[in-house]
Amino acid sequence: MPRIAPIGSRIARYMDVPESAKGPAVDPAKGYRLQDLGEGLFVITDNAYQSMFLVYETGVVVVDAPPSFAGHIRQAIAEITLKPVTHLIYSHSHLDHIGGAKGLGGHPVIVAHEETRRLLVRANDPNRPVPAVTFRDRFTLRAGSRILELSYHGNAHEPGNIFISVPASKTLMVVDVICPGWMPWRRLSLAEDIPGYFAQVEEIRHLPFDTLVAGHVARTGTKADVELQSEFLKDLKLAAGQALNTTKPGEGMDPRDMANPWALFDNYTDRVMVQCVNTLTPKWSTRLAGFDAFIWDQCYAMEQSLRGD
């Protein structure tokens, strides 16, 4: 039997969130928290989503506008400056990160990857205006004396998901790849390309930064958070691979079901996932917040990738 309740099983409560995964509290009267990253760069967060803005001589560059707190972004900026928002960078196309873009008001120049533009044209969502400026591989946004380096590293989470570096602040923003202190969102943050997702985590490991803005959870990240997620992913891949190689299809099934290929594979993959979850639970259940919420999803995504990718 699995050591962690499987998907669909209702339990009294989930595991406690480790202290290492928690961030500073959000003032409920404000609905957001500001974090100063230095050199005019600030993170805005509601401790579930994160965006950031960079103040320069004559304006402000915003990166992402999650609808969960987009209504507070101008209020947050006003705590620092009265300069206008001149640019808006999209990390990628997903609604939960840029669905508040229209609500920012004004007429900022929107910058994104060309794949993000393609997806937004298809979406035809008035709350996510189509970017005016796009790029393929790299783009340097110069705002006064400030510089943001944008780069594309291929499909992982989704096509068009970019890296945003602010060298003066030693900050890197990559959304929906690393979750500092936490288990990734289900099925490896819904990665469209799982080998690409693994490769991007390793790329991030080797980039120069002190602070990682990950787009999610309660705090910004560090190099140590990236190392921890890399270690977990390697263990996940090993556990799923071992389970695939040591689990015998059809074992213990009713012989009458053996002619049903969907039942055969359902039974097989369920037993693979049980072994994968049980292998990972002793080491990781107390090291990553949300382990019990999504470990079944991770094992499922991993064994599917190993069999299909």
Percent of the chain with pLDDT over 90: 95
Give the confidence band of 109 by pLDDT, cuts at 50, 70, 90.
Answer: very high
Residue 212 pLDDT? 98
CATH 3.60.15.10 positions along the chain are 19-222
Query: pTM for the complete prediction?
Result: 0.95
CATH class of the domain whose range is 19-222? alpha beta
* Mean pLDDT confidence for 129-146: 98
Q: Model confidence over 38-48: pLDDT tens digits?
A: 999 999 999 99
Residue 70 clears pLDDT 80, i.e. is over it:
yes
Residue 2 pLDDT? 60
Percent of the chain with pLDDT over 70: 99
Residue 3 pLDDT? 72
* Mean pLDDT confidence for 44-66: 98
Residue 22 pLDDT? 95
Q: Model confidence over 72-81: pLDDT tens digits?
A: 999 999 999 9
Residue 176 pLDDT? 98
- The span from the CA of 90 to the CA of 110, in Å, is 7
